[in-house]
Structures are given as structure tokens and as C-alpha cells.
């Protein structure tokens, strides 16, 4: 038996295989395969990112925000590139339908079956420049990354801790049920005369409306939060409303808004109250799962970057 092993170990073919493996490992060690390059972004794409930021936020991004935006876009390109390497565009129903739609728009579908249309679209590599397909492939890639980085389970204790930390944020705001009379800014003199001559104590809002002017958003607002009322009247009106003592079934002192002056009748008022755990539990669970997903994905993407040469 020992002699047999010696004969095997002395075989030239075995020596050749071992030397080949050693050389292969040395080659990988000293001459590693170059990593795929991602970026840099073209100036046109950076400009588009800034325009999208301004459109969404309403102001120009700071240097730090601009950098984060570019890094996020490079991460998207990396995920897209990896999805292409894995051919995730094959056999996905969303990509399939999008390619069919594009081919029909280009009128390249006549006289052939759907499968032939898809094959032709792939030969033309139409999946490379379609933003809908890109978003879909990135989404599929993120799902694959999360399979290797499973989310931590969320316990009832986690939910309770989150509820305690966000109690102030989760508080139910006050609710106002009001009706108002409106006088535009250029009719302030009439508003003053109305307030001096009309006895609001005996006048119901429906009867008083004939003295006022049309208001685009209407006259009655039922169970509205301050934030909702601000969308109709502006911040000045809401600030004055909150600062005023509210008595149900009565008129408030005149309130000002962006548009003019308002005489407000209070139908009902519900004060702010703490949220009940059970009524916000599902929302808390959703938020914690979202945060856990983002954290797991962030770790996976950071690990993935090691396999690419990211050009910023």
C-alpha cells in the first residue's frame, strides 16, 4: 500500500497539476484580476441629480448633500452592473413586459411571436438604457443581497421601546371643526364695519355668510388638524388659532391669514392626546422593518463595493 502511494506521488502528471495550482494561486496573488470600474458620473447626470434635488426639496443641495447624492447614484450603477452580470433580466415578468412595450413602440414586433420579440430586444440590448428596467433590476439585486443578510426579527419589546422614544411625535394633534367668514385683504374696511355693526353673539355662521366673500377652499372644515388647516389658510392663521382660547359653539376673535381676515365659528374642538400603543403598533412595525432593511442593505452594499473600483 505504501509503495502504491509512493508511485502515485512520483507521477509526473501529479507534479504538473500541483505546480499548475501553485502558479495559479501566485498569479492571483501578485496579478489579481482587475475589478470592474463603476463611474465617474458624467457631468450631465450630476446636473440632472441636482435638478431632481431642487425639484424635490426646493433648494440647492449643499456640498455634502451633493456628494451623498452622487455616491448613491454610483451605488445604483454598481447594483445594476451586478444584476446584468447575473442576467437578472432573463425570465423576469416586469422586464419582459417592458421590453415588449418598447419593441411595439419601435414597431419591431410585426409578424413574430412574443418570445421572438423578447429575443430580438435582448439582442439589441434594449434593457441597458431603460430606466424602468434599471430600477427593476436594482430592486431584484437588493432582494438577493437581503437574502444573504437576513433582517433581524422585531420583538414586542422593540416595538414598546420605539413607542416610548417617539411618544411626542406620535401624539394625536388637536382637531378643529370650524366655519368661517372671509374678507380679502383689499376689503379690510368692510371687515371692520362688519365687526362693528354685526352682533356675532346672536348670528349663526350660515346666516352671517351673506356678509362675507367667496373663499376658494370653502367655508366648513370638519375635524382638521393644524397642519391640514395650514394648507388652506397658511401658517399665520394657524398660529393665531392655536394661541386663541377655543370655546365650542362660539365665534373667535378675528384671525388673519395670507389671504385676508377671517371670522371663525367653532363647531367642535378635540384637544391633542397621547397615542394609544395599539393604534400605532402597525405603523411602528412598518417603520422598524424599513429601518432594519435599510441597515442590512447598507452593510451589504458596503461589502459589495470591495469588488468594484468606484470612480467618484
pLDDT of residue 110: 85
| pLDDT confidence band for 192 (50 / 70 / 90) | confident
Q: What is the pLDDT of residues 115-150, one digit of tens each?
A: 999 999 999 999 999 999 999 999 999 999 999 888
Task: Reply yes or no on whether the pLDDT at 19 is more than 70.
Answer: no
| pLDDT confidence band for 24 (50 / 70 / 90) | very low
Average pLDDT over residues 24-28: 50
Residues above pLDDT 90, as percent of the chain: 71
Q: Give the chain's mean pLDDT.
A: 88
Instruction: Provide the CB-side half-sphere exposure for 141 (13 A, CA).
Output: 24
**What's the rounded Cα separation, in Å, for the pair 105 and 82?**
28
Task: Reply yes or no on whether the pLDDT at 15 is more than 80.
Answer: no
pLDDT of residue 92: 93
- Do 185 and 260 meet the contact criterion of CB atoms below 8 Å apart? yes
Going by C-beta distance under 8 Å and a sequence separation of 6 or more, which residues neighbour residue 242?
Answer: 174, 226
| pLDDT confidence band for 209 (50 / 70 / 90) | confident
Q: Which residues of 117-148 are buried (b: 16+ CB within 10 A; e: fewer)?
A: bbeebeeeebbeebeebbebbbebbbeebeee
pTM: 0.67
Task: Reply yes or no on whether the pLDDT at 84 is more than 80.
Answer: yes
Amino acid at each position: 500500500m505504501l509503495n502504491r502511494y509512493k508511485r502515485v506521488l512520483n507521477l509526473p502528471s501529479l507534479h504538473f497539476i500541483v505546480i499548475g495550482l501553485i502558479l495559479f494561486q501566485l498569479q492571483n496573488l501578485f496579478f489579481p484580476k482587475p475589478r470592474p470600474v463603476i463611474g465617474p458620473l458624467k457631468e450631465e447626470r450630476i446636473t440632472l441629480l441636482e435638478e431632481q434635488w431642487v425639484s424635490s426639496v426646493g433648494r440647492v443641495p449643499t456640498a455634502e448633500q451633493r456628494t451623498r447624492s452622487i455616491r448613491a447614484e454610483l451605488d445604483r450603477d454598481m447594483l445594476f452592473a451586478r444584476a446584468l452580470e447575473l442576467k437578472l433580466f432573463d425570465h423576469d415578468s416586469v422586464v419582459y413586459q417592458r421590453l415588449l412595450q418598447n419593441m411595439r413602440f419601435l414597431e419591431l414586433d410585426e409578424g413574430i411571436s412574443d418570445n421572438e420579440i423578447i429575443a430580438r430586444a435582448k439582442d439589441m440590448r434594449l434593457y441597458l438604457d431603460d430606466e424602468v428596467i434599471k430600477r427593476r433590476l436594482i430592486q431584484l439585486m437588493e432582494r438577493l443581497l437581503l437574502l444573504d443578510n437576513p433582517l433581524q426579527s422585531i420583538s414586542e419589546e422593540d416595538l414598546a421601546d420605539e413607542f416610548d422614544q417617539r411618544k411626542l411625535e406620535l401624539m394625536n394633534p388637536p382637531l378643529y371643526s370650524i366655519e368661517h367668514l372671509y374678507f380679502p385683504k383689499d376689503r379690510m374696511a368692510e371687515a371692520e364695519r362688519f365687526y362693528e355693526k354685526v352682533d356675532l353673539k346672536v348670528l349663526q355662521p350660515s346666516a352671517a355668510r351673506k356678509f362675507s366673500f367667496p373663499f376658494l377652499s370653502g367655508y366648513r372644515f370638519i375635524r382638521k388638524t393644524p397642519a391640514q388647516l395650514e394648507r388652506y389658510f397658511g401658517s399665520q392663521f394657524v398660529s393665531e388659532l392655536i394661541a386663541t382660547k377655543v370655546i365650542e359653539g362660539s365665534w373667535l376673535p378675528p384671525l388673519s391669514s395670507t389671504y385676508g381676515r377671517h371670522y371663525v365659528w367653532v363647531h367642535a374642538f378635540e384637544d391633542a392626546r397621547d397615542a394609544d400603543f395599539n393604534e400605532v403598533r402597525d405603523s411602528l412595525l412598518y417603520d422598524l422593518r424599513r429601518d432594519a432593511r435599510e441597515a442590512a442593505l447598507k452593510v451589504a452594499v458596503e461589502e459589495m463595493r470591495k469588488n468594484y473600483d468606484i470612480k467618484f
